[in-house]
Amino acid sequence: MAAISASDTSRLAGYRIAVLVPCFNEAIAVAQVVHDFRAALPEATVFVYDNNSTDDTVAVARAAGAEVFRETRQGKGFVVRRMFADVEADIYVLVDGDATYHAGSVRSMIGRLVESRCDMVVGSRVDQVQAAYRAGHRTGNRLLTGCVSAVFGRSFSDMLSGYRVFSRRFVKSFPLLSAGFEIETELTIHALELGLAVAEIETPYYARPEGSESKLSTWGDGFRILWTIIELYRSERPLRFFGAIAILLAVASIVFAVPIFITFAETGLVPRLPTAVLSTGLMVMAFLSLAAGLVLDTVSRGRREMKLLAYLSHRAPGEERRRQD
């Protein structure tokens, strides 16, 4: 652990800093996480939120010096939602309780948040050993990151990182809806959708301690994250989403209609009446889909404005100190 300089300490003086650690059966690793972050950020309070662990996670975390609370609804998203609602601070550090993230990077991440007046700084993982980051998870992360970049125009290099630093105004205005590990996707898309100031800092990533097991399912969580992206795209870009469906339906309608028109031009008859009805129905559905997209786009704009108003009702990190100075 690198020594804490006097300049670092003075830079963070006056800030309430909370380290938020969601845990489920992390008795083997959680003590190391608490010790490391208390050493790296002695001015911070470490909060461990247990999510129905069946091992000694609660006792171990409490013995290590953390403030421990429980969330009975199963899922990381529920835990993060509870932490964001309960904990009052100026700067929030969110980190997994599996001892895979580098606590020594937290001061650089917070420094970047304060100096650049960002709302979220993501710790981009650089694996220190091959076993730290499984190939399936790495590939899935790249695919999902590419998908978000294609949909929203920009993204992070490590969209699924569980190591992040937030401003108070991000945390208190974030409309968290996810229940599970897709929470990282929702955090990322919220920041990109509102055009918030964000940054990314590389941080070492380690393998879990021996005997500790990952709770991630490569395929199961990957599909849930992909479905979350689709749902968020539908809600945040409804005109594009339903417009694309309208185009597909209209093209299908035209494909079915062309032979009917050719036959009608040659014979004056419409022998394939069911196909004509199908073509007409598809075109009607295309117009309905486009109309739904137009209406929902107006609703989405209003909802985005409400999110921005909620976000702007909180001051940026460091604003209180600047006013006092």
Q: Would you place residue 129 in the very low, low, confident or very high pLDDT band (cuts 50, 70, 90)?
A: low
Q: Which of 50-54, 81-85, 186-190 has the lowest mean pLDDT?
A: 186-190
Dihedral angle, C-alpha 206, 210, 215, 217, nearest 10 °: 80
DSSP β-bridge partners for residue 120: 166, 198
Phi and psi, residue 17, nearest 5° = -115, 130
User: In the predicted model, is pLDDT for residue 6 greater than 50?
Assistant: no
Q: Which of 23-27, 36-40, 84-88, 303-307 has the lowest mean pLDDT?
A: 303-307
Q: What is the mean pLDDT of residues 169-174?
A: 89
Pairwise CA distance, residues 132 & 125, whole Å? 10
Closest by Cα among 53, 66, 51 to 19: 66
Phi and psi, residue 13, nearest 5° = -65, 135
pLDDT at 318: 59
pTM score above 0.85? no
Summarize pLDDT for 217-250 with one digit per residue, the tens.
666 666 776 776 777 778 778 898 999 999 999 9
> At the fourth CATH level, which superfamily is domain 6-235?
Spore Coat Polysaccharide Biosynthesis Protein SpsA; Chain A (3.90.550.10)
Map out the domains of the chain as residue ranges: 6-235, 238-324
pLDDT at 145: 75
User: In the predicted model, is pLDDT for residue 7 greater than 60?
Assistant: no
Q: Residues 186, 232: contact at Cβ < 8 Å?
A: yes
Dihedral angle, C-alpha 96, 10, 90, 149, nearest 10 °: -60
Rg value, the chain, Cα: 25
pLDDT at 213: 64
Place of tokens 């205005």: 173
pLDDT at 221: 62
Q: How many residues does the chain have?
A: 325
- Single-letter amino acid code for the residue at 245: I
Summarize pLDDT for 290-324 with one digit per residue, the tens.
999 999 988 888 877 777 777 877 776 656 554 44
pLDDT at 225: 67
User: In the predicted model, is pLDDT for residue 85 greater than 60?
Assistant: yes
Q: What is the average pLDDT score of the chain?
A: 83
User: In the predicted model, is pLDDT for residue 94 greater than 90?
Assistant: yes
pLDDT at 41: 94
Q: Residues 146, 188: contact at Cβ < 8 Å?
A: no
Q: Would you place residue 177 in the very low, low, confident or very high pLDDT band (cuts 50, 70, 90)?
A: low
pLDDT at 149: 75
